[in-house]
Chains A and B, each alone.
Chain A
Amino acid sequence: MSGAIRSRARWVAAAAVLASGCGLLAACGGSAASGADAQSITLYNGQHVQTADNLISAFEKKTGITVNVRSDDEDTLADQIVTEGSHSPADVFFTENSPPLESLQAKGLLSKVDSSTLGHVPAKFSSPQGDWVGVSARVSVLIYNPSLISASKLPTKVSQLADSQYKGKLALAPQETDFQPIVTAYLRAYGKAATQRWLKAIQGNASGHIYPDNETIADEVNRGAVAFGIVNQYYWYRMRAEIGASATHAEITHFAAGDPGYVVDVSGAGILKSSTHQAAAQKFLAFIVSKQGQEIIGDPSKSISYEYPIGSGVTTQAPETPFSQLQPYPITIAELGDGSTAIALMRQAGLL
């Protein structure tokens, strides 16, 4: 028995040593990253990590300013910034879509972007108040699997998604911020009552194929689990770049010109009012809309962003429909807003 007690005592001693050692080391691990000085900024990144990484390393090389990055879902980051309030460690917030930035702007948490930076981007892609700048753009498309549905059977208008012939064939990711703009556009085009009916119908048609994100829609359509869905165009390009053309069975197509389902989404960046590194943060924004920054976004050999560059006259080098030839539904950033009306309607319809 005494042997048993001794061996247990060793366990305790080992655990205690391990615990105290680890506690110490863990504390060290934290302090290493927290030394922020004037020559470093903290970026809250809601954009795809690849896109942000390529921009950041080029920016660091050019300016010598270090960028500390935190990546998370853009909406969670927006919530986090609100919760952090005046002590937010964030200097810059970079998002995939405009609604998170619009929501922070409405709460008065963003400071004005330098007018020279705003000047690099067409005014319609940035905050009307000048609180954030547009960085890149994407367009909504239908992604479909030709072995499950032929192109001629696809809807040409987003309103047709409600047709009963698409029951069980349609995939949606209503939680994604990419879907709300289409609902907002629909609302603007057809009014509230029609939007409510339409949402109810597509909720039924997409039953069983409601996915958490666009990557999943692209993947599921590609492997034939569902016939078609709505995503932004770059998910298809990114998937193809990742898995190769031979494994890519899905295709994409646009809605009819000017249809409310044909929407351009803008990615943007803003600076927090609470930031104590305003000058360095402004430099970062200026860089990502500069020719060099925009070329990183638009050139598949520099990043696999596959988004459309929209600043400094740079055009995409990817083999996709040129941005200037897109014929999207005419809706402004301000009209897209923070998406709260669309969310309320989607909730009523049971999509959220």
Chain B
Amino acid sequence: MTTSPTLIRPGSPPPAGPGTATRPAVRARRARLPMALTAAGLAVAAVLALPLVFLLIEAHGAGAATVGNLIFRRLTADLLWNTVRLTVVVTAACAVIGTATAWCVERTNLPGRRVWAVLVVVPLAIPDFVVSFGWASLWTWVHGFEGAVVVMTLAVYPLVYLPVAASLRAADPGQEEVARSLGVGRARTFLRITLGQARGAILGGCLLVALVLLAEYGAFEILGYQTFTTEIFTEFSVSFSVPAACALSLVLILLSLLVLGGEGMLRGKGRISRSGPLAARQMPPHRLGRATLPALAGFVALTVLALGVPVGSSIYWMVARSSHAILGVSLMSSALHTGLYAAAAGALDTVAALPIALLAIRHAGRLRYLLERSTYLVLAVPGVVTAFALSYFSERYGGGFLYQTAPLLVVCYAIMFFPLALVGVKASLARAPVSLDEIARSLGQRRLAVLWRVTLRLAGPGLVAAFCLVFLSVVTELTATLLLIPTGVQTLATQFWAYEQNLSYGQAAPFALVMIAVAAIPSYVLGRFFDRTAHS
């Protein structure tokens, strides 16, 4: 690939996720690479590499023989098969559900679009272990592969919905009109033009889903489904051997490299063309007509399954089960801490994603492309590994500095969920055409002032969306939290876990419900954000 600054080749890496199609084609000149931006980008990438460095150090410490024994055993083939088939099936299911719901909400006259726009996002806010627990406690068949497919699809499809909805909203309606006026049928227009426009966003969403699945633990533990990540946890828990667990985690990294490579190859073939967002305009929604009822039924069914079952079973357990009180912090206190940690991590990630996203969009080049892509790997690293990594570096090089304090926990969250923020930030920056920057600079504005007064203002809503995505993920995080949370403090997730471990389902349930309520706020903001951009 050439790094010529004057051409955008079709094969050059486009931004991931929402708004891919909105990248202005007018970007003709690449701005000179600013030193400060590069330094900031490298610093962020270096912090994100900490878990990977830790894995390599520990695996090296374990020795080739141990690593070989762990990797080349009968179980590995099963784990590989389990992990791969689940990732493929769930990613495909999420792509279909996420795209279909996004199209209905954004492009049709579906009744109650504004309500659905919020409801379809909320499942992201329900912790995986609550979802699996809800399903598994109600039906025995929810187990193993089928159970894992159902539960995970319902838990993570919003990761596809969100970018696709944003992309459909921003896409140029002119192309569809042209296609239709040239006599192309409805279905073909949808397949060729609409899906084509959303293709980058669909792939970006699928990438997130696949990586999140690789690192998933809580749900599979409850469902009795073995993947590499559950095996890594087993390794942590039965053998008292961190090095062995880390050696096994390297297989996950290899798998996520494959996922990243695959996504890059698929994406590379797409072409993107569109005028800038300033030319965006409303298009009349498709009339669903006779399809209205089936579509509504689909949305109701999805909401019942993804939202109703976990919420309903939580309420059921709260009411139906007597419980033996154990001491615990109050709902208020744990909700407050959960909210604070999540907000801090969301803010940190949104800021940290800026340099990487700016480099990737405004200064595309092979090395910067690799830099940006490398930051996705961390999403496939199990949370407990990242927590152990920070614990290791704090102990080894910092004399225990910041260990088990709120700042380090927030940094841990920020590392774990950085790619979620990056997707949002990149998409929103792509909406701010570089030509505006250039105009502002030609009017004598300083670079930082331009960033603040032009770029960030245009990208603002997308930054809030990035913040919210990280917020949602932090609210439901458990395994890293247990390791790094300040002693004596509880989050909603840790308190839920403590009660659930003691079979105090009745006491656990309110924490699950508050967790959903806390996370519903950013879900609402996410839903409203997409709604707002349409009506502003």
Contact = CB atoms under 8 A, between A and B. Distances in A.
Interface of A: 1, 3-5, 7-9, 11-12, 14-15, 18-20, 22-23, 25-34, 42, 48-50, 53, 57, 68-73, 75-76, 78-80, 82-87, 89, 99-100, 103, 175, 177, 180, 208, 210-212, 215-216, 223, 225, 238-239, 241-244, 304, 338-340, 343, 347-348, 350, 352
A27 B337 CA distance: 10
Interface residues of B, number: 76
B238 A343 contact: yes
Given A18-B343, A27-B407, A80-B483, A8 B503 contact: no
A215 B463 contact: no
Contact of A350 (B75, B237, B406): B75
Interface in B186-214: none
B223 to A, nearest CB: 9
B400 interface: yes
Contacts, number: 203
Contacts of A23: 343-344, 347-348, 410
A347 B340 contact: no
A16 B327 CA distance: 37
B456 A12 contact: yes
Contact of B222 (A18, A212, A243, A347): A212
A84 B391 contact: yes
A73 B343 contact: no
Interface stretch (B86-94, B170-178, B289-297, B316-324): B316-324
A19 B144 contact: no
Contact of A75 (B224, B237, B464): B237
B498 interface: yes
Interface stretch (B45-53, B250-258, B486-494): B486-494
Contact of B326 (A50, A211, A241): A50
A4 B432 CA distance: 13
A70 B489 CA distance: 9
A210 B224 contact: yes
Contact of A242 (B322, B343, B487, B536): B322
Contacts of B532: 7
B2 interface: no
B138 to A, nearest CB: 11
A276 to B, nearest CB: 12
Interface of B: 73-75, 78, 140, 144, 221-222, 224, 234, 236-242, 245, 278, 321-324, 326-327, 336-337, 339-341, 343-344, 346-348, 350-351, 384, 388, 391-392, 394-396, 399-400, 403-407, 409-410, 456-458, 460-461, 463-464, 467, 482-483, 485-489, 498, 501-505, 532, 536
B460 A8 contact: yes
Contacts of B245: 79
Contacts of B391: 80, 83-84
Given A33-B489, A50-B324, A350-B75, 7 more contacts: A3-B536, A23-B347, A70-B485, A79-B245, A87-B395, A175-B238, A212-B224
Contacts of A340: 239
19 contacts: A5-B457, A5-B458, A7-B532, A7-B536, A8-B461, A9-B460, A15-B350, A15-B467, A19-B346, A19-B351, A23-B344, A29-B337, A29-B406, A76-B236, A83-B388, A175-B238, A212-B221, A212-B222, A212-B224
B238 A9 contact: no
A19 B273 CA distance: 35
Contact of B487 (A1, A20, A70, A75): A70
Given A23-B344, A87-B400, A34 B405 contact: yes
Contacts of B75: 347, 350, 352
Nearest to A352: B234
Contacts of A338: 240
A75 B240 contact: yes
A180 to B, nearest CB: 7
Given A29-B486, A42-B487, A87-B403, A12 B460 contact: yes
Contacts of A103: 240
A284 to B, nearest CB: 15
Nearest to B392: A83
Given A26-B407, A80-B391, A338-B240, A49 B74 contact: no
Contacts of B463: 11-12, 15
Contacts of B327: 53, 57
